[in-house]
Homo-oligomer: A and B are copies of this chain.
């Protein structure tokens, strides 16, 4: 059984948990496949690398064998929680990166949002039982970079248009596919509050999307926070 990305808004369950519940199977029967992989590029046979994660290494290795080709490389992992959270939480950061680009800021700003976004994602992940190292791999950094810089990313597109001054309702009404980050931001903020984790970028996205503050104000608030050690909060 393979599961997709996200965190269910009402129950805060991850997809693999939903799959286990609905199908009534053990976690060792569920494998999560995640990583930087725009479907269109996989179809074009561009070299792609992903992670197959399962509580059962044997199950992950089976998926690794099944899915590996000369252009699709699969690594195994036993950190299902981290692999799923990386895929879900990165969508919120991608909205922030899109907003910065839409406001006309440069690549320094985007790179800073990616690096600091990664810190806060991994901070929450660890509290939820993930291994920090997973966020520094394909399902973390890899997927985050793809989604924050790739124009095929719907979450980035939502941010871009917000940054250019469009309203959220307007943007969403014209989209055929779901920009998952717009839903995930509710779950992420709820989890951050519950586990008392500081997530300034995620909270800024929430304030823009849900509370309707101006994107430029949100960026200035982020830059004006108290000066600190880079990993002081970890």
Contacts and interface: CB of A to CB of B under 8 A. Distances in A.
B106 A38 contact: yes
A207 interface: no
A141 B51 CA distance: 19
A36 B145 contact: no
Interface residues of A, number: 63
Given A64-B227, A106-B46, A108-B37, A145 B114 contact: yes
This chain's copy number in the assembly: 2
A211 interface: no
A142 interface: yes
A107 interface: yes
A36 B146 CA distance: 17
B75 A228 contact: yes
Interface stretch (A16-24, A116-124, A174-182, A189-197): A116-124
B136 A112 contact: no
A1 to B, nearest CB: 21
A150 interface: yes
A222 B71 CA distance: 10
A214 interface: no
A48 B115 CA distance: 12
A224 B70 contact: yes
A229 interface: yes
Interface of A: 35-38, 41-42, 44, 46-49, 51, 64-65, 68, 70-71, 73-77, 100, 105-112, 114-116, 118-119, 122, 133-138, 140-143, 145-146, 149-150, 152, 219-220, 222-224, 227-231, 234
Given A49-B115, A75-B228, 18 more contacts: A41-B106, A47-B100, A48-B109, A49-B108, A64-B227, A68-B227, A75-B227, A75-B230, A76-B227, A76-B228, A77-B229, A77-B230, A107-B146, A107-B150, A108-B146, A112-B138, A115-B142, A119-B137
6 contacts: A46-B109, A70-B223, A74-B227, A111-B138, A115-B137, A133-B234
